[in-house]
Amino acid sequence: MKTTLVDPRTGAVRGTSPIARESEVRSTVAAARAAWPGWRGRTPRERARALERLAALVEANAAAYVAREAAGTGKPDSETAGEVEQVADLFRFYACAVRAQSAPAAGRLVDGHESWVRFEPLGVVGVVVPWNYPLMMAAWRCAPALAAGNTVVAKPAETTPDTLELLAAHAAEALGPAVLTVVSGDRRTGRLLVESGVDMVAFTGSAAAGADVAARAGGRRVSLELGGNSPALVLPDAPDDTWTQLARACTYNAGQSCAAPARVITLRENYERTVENLAAAARECLAGRDFGPLNNADQLARYDGIVERSAARRHFVADIAPRPGEEHGLWRPARILADLPDDDPAVVEEVFGPLLTVQSADGVEAAVALANGVPQALAASVWTRDLGTGLDLAARLDAGEAWINCHLVQTAELPHGGRGASGHGTDLSTLALHEYQRPKTVTARLVREG
């Protein structure tokens, strides 16, 4: 049984990929279980060196990763090349982080006793990643899990198995057999992995799918990143490049990013200026030239449905510029929606496309209420020349990550994670190591003889 793979740039079939079922999932998890004692038993330095070898293989084969990622996602090389570079950096970061992690207080904390805390790996981690960042999201999950001493079985999205399969091949070379393995397939494959004998599930995807994962995982640990609907608070004194920055962030990866700006909220006196400037900036971003297509037919239909159901009275739509031979790809232009109700589908749902809505508020308090008025709470940004105001508003926004005068600026050192309907758990930074470890307190009574 195989999945038909489609190139979203052209709409043409580009190949097939196997669909794993019970026997394949069971045998892959069993192999990861058998590999765990050897991987766990390596010292942090030995695991670090292996992860550094994997990073070097990613860099040495960057062109192959870029080509595979582009084929599966349709992203331009300018995007995929940067993401491959980030993936290599992530493995190197966690190679260092696992050797420098801190622990809670240790020592003579109880009279006559010595205590300390061990951080131990969980075992086999099942990782399920989405199609919007097939390689990078896998690295966000796999790198800290591996560094912490777990083995990993990863399941890529049905439409984008390419780069994760290559990563698993390089991991076998750098880390050893079955330390990082892949089961490709559809949603049923993912459910089989979640229900298998893994000790933890790390999932990135939709809120509905995340709820299903949590239910199937039972009492096992689950780390969920479930999407966003990020507000951008634009004050009247916003920097001159605000509009360009927001348009570029909204169209990066065709807006298919959980943390992308989605809802622009400004004050009523600044509303028309905001709409006009955003519309002008969006017209400069051309699908096919500056950003890629939507990933698959289901996402295209979902996006089109939200646009069709929107009650926005004004639509500002840019052009598209596909290259020759790509006219039948899944392209959608940059779009700005204005004059729409606060409960519009394009406002309350995660659109996941190159679209920004614009809302007005009667004051800063009302703007913050609008920003915090949706269930998702992953990321947000504030745009103002007044740093004090920006810092105050960033603190009041219900989001796991907040930016001031920028958006989508991320690095391995800084944590990323959601609240509310955006899930729970931490990606990136040294904090992510603890997602894949459990603490054990050891206390020894000091016995004196004679």
Whether 322 contacts 287, CB under 8 Å: yes
Whether 215 contacts 208, CB under 8 Å: no
What are the residues whose beta carbons fall under 8 Å from the beta carbon of 383, sequence distance 6 or more? 232, 233, 234, 235, 238, 239, 242, 246, 390, 404, 405
96 is annotated as an active-site residue? no
Three-state SS for 127-158 is: EECCCCCHHHHHHHHHHHHHHCCCEEEEECCC
Q: Backbone phi, then psi, for 145, in 5-degree steps? A: -65, -45
d(CA 186, CA 205): 14
d(CA 26, CA 20): 10
250 is annotated as an active-site residue? no
Give the number of residues written for the chain. 450
d(CA 286, CA 211): 36
Of the residues 142, 250, 258, 285, which is catalytic?
A: 258
Type of residue at 427:
D
Whether 176 contacts 149, CB under 8 Å: no
Whether 182 contacts 169, CB under 8 Å: no
Three-state SS for 332-347 is: CCCEEEECCCCCCHHH
Of the residues 225, 326, 350, 435, which is catalytic?
A: 225
Catalytic residue numbers, as ranges: 225, 258
